[in-house]
Amino acid sequence: MADRVTCRTLGGHVVEATNGTSTVRLDLPVAEGGPGTAMGPHETLLAALGGCTAMTLQVYAARKQWPLQGVELVLTREKAAVGVPEAKERLVVEVKPLGPLDDAQRQKLLEIAQKCPVYRTLTSDLDVVERLA
Protein backbone atom coordinates (compact mmCIF):
# COMPACT_ATOMS: atom_id res chain seq x y z
CA MET A 1 0.00 0.00 0.00
CA ALA A 2 1.38 3.41 -0.94
CA ASP A 3 1.63 6.32 1.46
CA ARG A 4 -0.43 9.30 0.36
CA VAL A 5 -0.42 12.94 1.46
CA THR A 6 -2.51 15.75 0.02
CA CYS A 7 -1.17 19.32 0.13
CA ARG A 8 -3.09 22.51 -0.53
CA THR A 9 -2.31 26.19 -0.24
CA LEU A 10 -4.10 28.18 2.45
CA GLY A 11 -3.06 31.61 1.24
CA GLY A 12 0.31 33.24 0.85
CA HIS A 13 3.03 30.66 1.36
CA VAL A 14 1.19 28.58 3.96
CA VAL A 15 0.46 24.98 2.96
CA GLU A 16 -1.59 22.32 4.71
CA ALA A 17 -0.62 18.68 4.34
CA THR A 18 -2.89 15.83 5.38
CA ASN A 19 -2.95 12.06 5.19
CA GLY A 20 -6.69 12.08 5.89
CA THR A 21 -6.19 11.55 9.62
CA SER A 22 -3.52 14.03 10.70
CA THR A 23 -2.75 17.51 9.42
CA VAL A 24 0.38 19.67 9.53
CA ARG A 25 1.05 23.17 8.26
CA LEU A 26 4.17 24.33 6.49
CA ASP A 27 5.34 27.70 5.31
CA LEU A 28 8.44 29.55 4.25
CA PRO A 29 10.75 31.13 6.82
CA VAL A 30 10.67 34.91 7.12
CA ALA A 31 14.12 35.07 5.45
CA GLU A 32 12.57 33.50 2.35
CA GLY A 33 9.49 35.76 2.24
CA GLY A 34 7.09 33.65 4.28
CA PRO A 35 5.38 34.38 7.58
CA GLY A 36 7.53 31.87 9.50
CA THR A 37 4.57 30.47 11.44
CA ALA A 38 5.31 26.79 10.80
CA MET A 39 8.17 24.55 9.78
CA GLY A 40 9.54 25.03 6.31
CA PRO A 41 9.77 22.20 3.77
CA HIS A 42 13.37 21.25 4.59
CA GLU A 43 12.68 21.41 8.31
CA THR A 44 9.73 19.08 7.78
CA LEU A 45 12.02 16.68 5.91
CA LEU A 46 14.46 16.75 8.83
CA ALA A 47 11.56 16.15 11.25
CA ALA A 48 10.41 13.12 9.22
CA LEU A 49 13.91 11.65 9.30
CA GLY A 50 14.32 12.40 13.01
CA GLY A 51 10.93 11.03 13.96
CA CYS A 52 11.45 7.85 11.98
CA THR A 53 14.93 7.38 13.45
CA ALA A 54 13.67 7.83 17.02
CA MET A 55 10.84 5.34 16.48
CA THR A 56 13.18 2.81 14.88
CA LEU A 57 15.57 3.01 17.83
CA GLN A 58 12.74 2.67 20.37
CA VAL A 59 11.39 -0.44 18.63
CA TYR A 60 14.84 -2.02 18.35
CA ALA A 61 15.77 -1.34 21.98
CA ALA A 62 12.44 -2.71 23.22
CA ARG A 63 12.94 -5.89 21.19
CA LYS A 64 16.42 -6.30 22.70
CA GLN A 65 15.09 -5.36 26.17
CA TRP A 66 17.70 -2.62 26.47
CA PRO A 67 17.18 0.20 29.01
CA LEU A 68 16.66 2.93 26.40
CA GLN A 69 14.63 5.65 28.11
CA GLY A 70 14.29 7.92 25.09
CA VAL A 71 16.14 9.44 22.18
CA GLU A 72 17.10 13.02 21.40
CA LEU A 73 18.15 13.92 17.88
CA VAL A 74 19.51 17.13 16.40
CA LEU A 75 19.25 17.22 12.62
CA THR A 76 20.94 19.78 10.42
CA ARG A 77 20.85 20.35 6.68
CA GLU A 78 24.15 21.65 5.32
CA LYS A 79 23.94 23.18 1.88
CA ALA A 80 26.45 22.23 -0.79
CA ALA A 81 29.43 24.54 -1.21
CA VAL A 82 28.83 27.06 -3.98
CA GLY A 83 31.14 26.73 -6.97
CA VAL A 84 32.29 23.21 -6.10
CA PRO A 85 30.83 20.84 -8.71
CA GLU A 86 31.35 17.69 -6.61
CA ALA A 87 29.88 19.24 -3.46
CA LYS A 88 26.70 17.67 -2.11
CA GLU A 89 24.13 18.70 0.45
CA ARG A 90 24.43 16.85 3.73
CA LEU A 91 21.98 15.87 6.41
CA VAL A 92 23.75 15.52 9.74
CA VAL A 93 21.96 13.51 12.43
CA GLU A 94 23.28 13.69 15.98
CA VAL A 95 21.82 10.77 17.95
CA LYS A 96 21.69 10.88 21.75
CA PRO A 97 20.31 7.67 23.25
CA LEU A 98 19.06 8.26 26.81
CA GLY A 99 19.32 5.75 29.63
CA PRO A 100 21.88 3.46 31.25
CA LEU A 101 23.26 1.94 28.05
CA ASP A 102 26.79 0.62 27.65
CA ASP A 103 29.10 1.78 24.86
CA ALA A 104 28.38 -1.27 22.68
CA GLN A 105 24.62 -0.67 22.91
CA ARG A 106 25.02 3.03 22.09
CA GLN A 107 27.19 2.17 19.07
CA LYS A 108 24.69 -0.45 17.87
CA LEU A 109 21.86 2.10 18.13
CA LEU A 110 23.86 4.49 15.93
CA GLU A 111 24.15 1.69 13.38
CA ILE A 112 20.43 0.87 13.64
CA ALA A 113 19.58 4.55 13.02
CA GLN A 114 20.56 3.97 9.40
CA LYS A 115 17.93 1.25 9.10
CA CYS A 116 14.97 3.60 9.54
CA PRO A 117 12.67 3.58 6.50
CA VAL A 118 12.97 7.33 5.82
CA TYR A 119 16.78 7.13 5.93
CA ARG A 120 16.68 4.22 3.51
CA THR A 121 14.35 6.14 1.17
CA LEU A 122 16.57 9.24 1.21
CA THR A 123 19.71 7.24 0.47
CA SER A 124 18.15 5.00 -2.18
CA ASP A 125 18.13 5.44 -5.93
CA LEU A 126 14.94 7.49 -5.70
CA ASP A 127 12.83 8.65 -8.64
CA VAL A 128 10.46 11.60 -8.18
CA VAL A 129 7.72 11.65 -10.83
CA GLU A 130 5.67 14.81 -11.31
CA ARG A 131 2.58 14.98 -13.48
CA LEU A 132 -0.43 17.22 -13.88
CA ALA A 133 -3.53 15.97 -12.08
pLDDT tens for 66-86 read 999 999 999 999 999 999 999
Domain boundaries, the chain: 1-38, 40-122
Q: What is the DSSP letter of 7?
A: E
Short-list 73, 88, 96, CA closest to 123: 88
The domain 40-122 having CATH identifier 3.30.300.20: the answer here is: yes
- Tens of pLDDT along 76-126? 999 999 999 999 999 999 999 999 999 999 999 999 999 999 999 999 999
pTM of the entire predicted model: 0.92
* DSSP structure class, residue 39: B
Taking only the tens place, the pLDDT of each residue in 20-58 is: 999 999 999 898 888 889 999 999 999 999 999 999 999
pLDDT value at position 110? 97
